[in-house]
Structures are given as C-alpha cells and as structure tokens.
Structure 1
C-alpha cells in the first residue's frame, strides 16, 4: 500500500537528470517482445538464405563418413584428427547462421536504447534473494500481465500454425514417401511460411509491447513534488539561500552605489520615482552614471546628494530615459548627450555664480 501511495504521488514529469541517472543505472525502457521479434527474423533469414549452403556443407561432411567409413581411423591420433575435422566442418557450416542470430539479438536491443555500460543490474541486492520480495514479484501486476501475455501468444501462435499447416495436410502425409532432397525442400518451404505468419503476428505484439514498456518506464521515472524540490536544491542550490545571497549582493551593491553619490556632479530626478546620479569632469569623454534607483532607493540618493550639497535637477523624461538605458559605471548613450549637457551646463553655471557671490561677499 505504501508503494502504491508513493506511485500515486508521482505527478511530475521526470527531469533530464532523473532520466540520465536511470540510464547510468541501466534502467531503460526495454521490450522483450522486440528482442524476440529480431531473433525470429534472424531465424527466418537464416533458413531462407543460409539453410541450403549450411545443409550442403553438413551433407558433404557426413556423406564422406558414410561412404568411406571403413577407411576412417578410430583410435589414437586418427580419432583426434577426425573429431577436429568434423568440428571444424560443422563450425564453418553454422558460422554464418549463428552470426546472423547474434547480430539480430544485439540489434533488438540497440533499436530500443543506446548502448549502456552499467554494473548496477548485476550488483547483489538483498531484495533479489528475499523470499518475501520474490513472492511479491511473483504475484505482482507485472507478473500477471506477463503471464496473460504469454498465454495469449501461445494460443494465437498455435492457431497460426494450424491455419498455415492445415491446408498442407495432404502434402505432409505423403512427404515421407518422397526423396530426401524433395522432402527437405518442402519442409524448408513450410517452415518459412510458418515463420512469416508468426513474424507478422509478432510485429503487432512487439510494437504494442514496446509502447507499453515505454509508457510504464516513463511513469516509473515520474517524480513527486518533494523530489523535484530536492533535486532543484542539489543542482541549483536551496532557493531560500540563493535568495538571501542575492539580497546580500544587492545590499552591498547599493552601499557601494550610495558611497559614490557624493562624487557625482548632478542628480537627475523624476522627482519622486527615479533618480540618476551623474559625474562629469574635464577630460572625460562623456558623463558616467554613478548611481540610479527608483522609489526608496531614489529617495535615498536624493538625501545623500543634498547632504553633500550635490545639485538635484528635476527632469522627469530625462531621468526615466537615463534609468532605462544605462547601468552603473557606464557612460551615457549619445542620444542623451544634448539633454545631459544642458543639465550639467546649468549646474556648472550655478556653481560659478555661487563662487562669484562668495568672492564678492568676501571683498
């Protein structure tokens, strides 16, 4: 019940990391029916293409033994040589059919998933030898599905055999009275017909089972909401910690920015929502932004500027435009040169007048 409850809570699609981890463990979507289909196809091709050459090779080898049986040594080194020649001849005759079956067996796995090297599946695990776990697997839903599937295949394949061989029953009855070469040729023909019928049926079974296994594997890889959160923490970091670090970086940046406001030449404001502190000195190619902000930060910039006797100029369009187009320690864009030059010119003239008044008052 606990496992069913856990499965019911897996509502989130698996992440790429979850899929990669499953692949590393050798946990892949695999249909035995697809592998069986490829092996069956290999058997059919071997019989259709390679049966005659293989049978001819075996026939020639065995015929020599029957024709010259009286001359074959059966003791000492002669017997050893006989076994060696016989084994070599049989191996040569069966090499290509066996190689065909090996290639098709490997292809049956490669078409379903890429090559995976993993020792996870062969590691000893207690639940594999536990009688309780084995009993649960024996009567699990998967075992019942496989049993029903196997029983259905036996019934249908038996029906196909009857459907293919029943029309040929008269020929099968008289086959034993024919010459060996004709009997073998007709037997090969009937076997090929039977394999074609079974392959056609197994094509449907393999395709359906492949889709079922893919769906079942994907559902197995799904994650609970808690697993998604834990994985995010492992790969991206705890969002609370990241948020706190981001906040600390912003606070430090804001402090450095405020510390630079006293060095500015002018602060352009909205007047309440935006504030941009600019610095310009002789020899600079263009004014530079030392600080900028909105609302609370803008208010703080204005307060620092006033406390250090930095001119604050209200120009809402320019303040909004500068805030949107420049970053800290960046020169203003060319399209704002004229407007900023007017503001800075106004501030410099204001400073000159103040200096002039100061000198007049002293004299």
Structure 2
C-alpha cells in the first residue's frame, strides 16, 4: 500500500477536488497501447477502403515519371514541375488515409479521459528531464509493468506473425508462378490480411492495459485519511466554524419566528410541551398559516411572548401536537385540520367581539375537536 511522506497509508479514494486538480496538471489516465491499437486497426481498415485508389494513383505517378523523353530529362524546369506534380498527386491520393490516421490517433488518446487543454497540462515539465526520476521510473513498479507489456507484445505479435506466415507460406511461394499483374494484386492482398491480423493481436494487449491504467491512475491519486479531512476542512471550513454558523442561522430564524408571535390570532398549546401560533386573514389568505411553533423551552417562550402581547392561549393537546408534527413554518394548515382550527378561531373571534380585551387572561381550553386518525400523535411524534 502506498504511503505518504508522514508515514500514513493512502487508503482513501481521491476526492472530486483531487481528481480535478490532477487533471489540471495533466495527470490523467492514458493508455498508449489503446492508442496504438486504434491507429493500427484504423490503418488496416483504411488500406482496405482506400488501398486500390492509392495504388492506382501511385501507379500513374510512377508511369508518368518513368516515361520521360530525352529532352524532358535534361530540362531542369520540366523536371521540377514534374516532381512537384507527382508529389501533389501522391498527397491527394494519400490524404484520406492520412486524415483517417490523425483522427484515430486523437480518438485513441482521448478515449479514456477526454480532452485536456489546461495551461498546466500543456506546460513543459522539466522534472521529467531529471535522470534520477527517470531511473526510478525505469526500475520502479511502473518500469516493471512497461517491461511486462513489452514482453507480452513481443510474444503475442510474434505468435500471431508466425501463425500468419504458416498459413500464407504456400500462397507466397506460389506468387512466382502467377502472371505479374495477378501476382502483384495477390501479394497486396496477402500483405493486407497479414497486417490486419497482426494489428488485431494488439487488442489483447489493450484489453489488459486499459483497466490497468485506470486502476493505476486511481492508485496514484489515493489519499490518506488526514488529507481527506484537511481537504474537507479547507473546502467547507472547520467543524467548529460550521457549527457556529449553524447556531447563528438557527438563532436568526428563531428571532424571526418570535417576531411573528404577536401578530398571531391564537396560540394553541399542549399546554406545556408544545405551542403553535396560528394567523388568519380572510382577505389575504386561503387558509390559516402556522407562523411559529416550538417544543419545551421554545414553547414556553412562545407562550410568554403571546401573553405579553395579549394573544389568546388555547389549550388543545391533540390539535397542538397535530399542527406541530404536520405543518412547517409559514405553511397553510392541512386540510384535515381545517375544521378543528376553524372552531378555535371562531371561538377566539367570538370572545374578542363579545368582550374585547376585557375577558380574563388565562389559558382557554377546547377539547374533543375533530382530529383525523392519521394526524393524531403522542408527545414523541408517534401516531396513536
């Protein structure tokens, strides 16, 4: 197992940040065997597709350049023009094949990790010119792997080449008995299929090299537990800071909630463990809204603020628990509790209309309200 400079084992998978930074530095998974295989197979298929056209064009070039009159041979200008013309015709004939090779080389290179045009990736790395680093790569695990791949390629390609020669021995020996044009065509066919077979043998090497390169790239980027912890700390901040931020956010949310309690029409209580503040404006709201809720100390604070601002307190344990566990802040009361809340509000409005602010300020009580069975909870939030 790889170890860091402080002796800790690198057992953790690289984080997204680590992978992104490595990519920016040009450290990505690459398989030269995959690129070579793609290029060789593309070249073989390119020969099959464009071979007759290329051979025909090159044949015309050779015929034209070996059919010169004596005067043309000693004419310098004609010879230069003829040379340039022959080169142009050969390039035009070879262009599709060469473009296909360039495309295959690019496709093979980006197949594993995609494009990478970051400045750091393109910048020259002078550290690779260090002889000591080169010796470490040669005699280290990476060098051993490269040696193993080289030997594997030698044996695979060698066996494939010998197999091709074995089956092509008689046709090759028979070329001398064929007419010239037929022999040339036949030899081209033998060369193509031999090249195709040897190129296809590289698929075996690439099939082993690709997963190894992916695994090795991930292994090289592995991190220690301390590195992961430090990265999380640098990215998200220290746990103490995050806890302090959460506490500040909770305090601010609590302060905003408490500011809405004086605006409530009624505070429904458990009467001691839960408190929920309800507000309803028939001109602006479709249904009553829960503007504050809390348990234990928060519930006590809600009741205290309500009493200080002449907001009626209504003791209804079942309704208080139902609203507390089913409704979030600033949400409308669930449809199942419409009737129960409506009775509470109607009773409170009746008291205000009949007595104004003169009725005795103590907890009101209203039980036997219609609470649906699926909204009946105990003090721990479990459905009864």
TM over 0.5: yes
User: Structure 1 residues 5 and 215 mapped into 2: Cα distance closer, same or farther (>3 Å)?
Assistant: farther
Paired position in structure 2 for 1:127 = 127
SS at match of 1:116: coil
Instruction: Tell me the alpha carbon deviations over residues 317-350 of structure 1, each in whole angstroms, 9 at most, x when there is no partner.
Output: 1111222344445554554444334444555538
User: Structure 1 residues 190 and 303 mapped into 2: Cα distance closer, same or farther (>3 Å)?
Assistant: same
Distance 1:354 1:101 in 2: 92
User: Structure 1 residues 204 and 329 mapped into 2: Cα distance closer, same or farther (>3 Å)?
Assistant: closer
Paired position in structure 1 for 2:351 = 349
Distance 2:212 2:222 in 1: 16
Contact 1:127 1:134 in 2 (8 A): no
Paired position in structure 2 for 1:241 = 241
SS at match of 2:355: helix
Pairs within 5 Å for 1:209-220: 209-220=209-220
- For structure 2, which runs of at least 5 residues remain unmatched after alignment? 361-384
Distance 1:51 1:263 in 2: 88
Paired position in structure 2 for 1:296 = 297
Paired position in structure 2 for 1:208 = 208
User: Is 1:146 matched up with 2:149?
Assistant: no
SS at match of 1:313: strand
Instruction: Tell me the alpha carbon deviations over residues 83-115 of structure 1, each in whole angstroms, 9 at most, x when there is no partner.
Output: 212222322333333233223323323443433
Alignment root-mean-square deviation, CA: 3.5
Query: Cα distance, 1:275 vs. partner?
Result: 0.9
Pairs within 5 Å for 1:264-283: 264-279=264-279
Query: Cα distance, 1:176 vs. partner?
Result: 5.4
Instruction: Tell me the alpha carbon deviations over residues 147-172 of structure 1, each in whole angstroms, 9 at most, x when there is no partner.
Output: 11112211231222222213444554
Paired position in structure 2 for 1:160 = 160
Instruction: Tell me the alpha carbon deviations over residues 47-73 of structure 1, each in whole angstroms, 9 at most, x when there is no partner.
Output: 334333322322232233333352323
SS at match of 2:29: coil
Distance 1:5 1:69 in 2: 81
Instruction: Tell me the alpha carbon deviations over residues 110-161 of structure 1, each in whole angstroms, 9 at most, x when there is no partner.
Output: 4434333234333133421222222211212112111111122112312222
Contact 1:12 1:225 in 2 (8 A): no
Paired position in structure 2 for 1:360 = none
Contact 2:266 2:312 in 1 (8 A): yes
- For structure 1, which runs of at least 5 residues remain unmatched after alignment? 358-363
* Mean Cα deviation higher: 95-104 or 1-10: 1-10
User: Structure 1 residues 71 and 60 mapped into 2: Cα distance closer, same or farther (>3 Å)?
Assistant: farther
SS at match of 1:355: coil
User: Structure 1 residues 46 and 245 mapped into 2: Cα distance closer, same or farther (>3 Å)?
Assistant: closer
User: Structure 1 residues 58 and 264 mapped into 2: Cα distance closer, same or farther (>3 Å)?
Assistant: closer
Instruction: Tell me the alpha carbon deviations over residues 212-263 of structure 1, each in whole angstroms, 9 at most, x when there is no partner.
Output: 2222223334444344444444554544323322211221332343344455
Query: In the comparison of the two structures, how many residue pairs are matched?
Result: 356
* Mean Cα deviation higher: 261-270 or 172-181: 172-181
Pairs within 5 Å for 1:28-47: 28-47=28-47
User: Structure 1 residues 298 and 56 mapped into 2: Cα distance closer, same or farther (>3 Å)?
Assistant: same
Distance 1:35 1:356 in 2: 89
Paired position in structure 1 for 2:65 = 65
Paired position in structure 1 for 2:313 = 312
User: Structure 1 residues 269 and 151 mapped into 2: Cα distance closer, same or farther (>3 Å)?
Assistant: same
* Mean Cα deviation higher: 279-288 or 180-189: 279-288
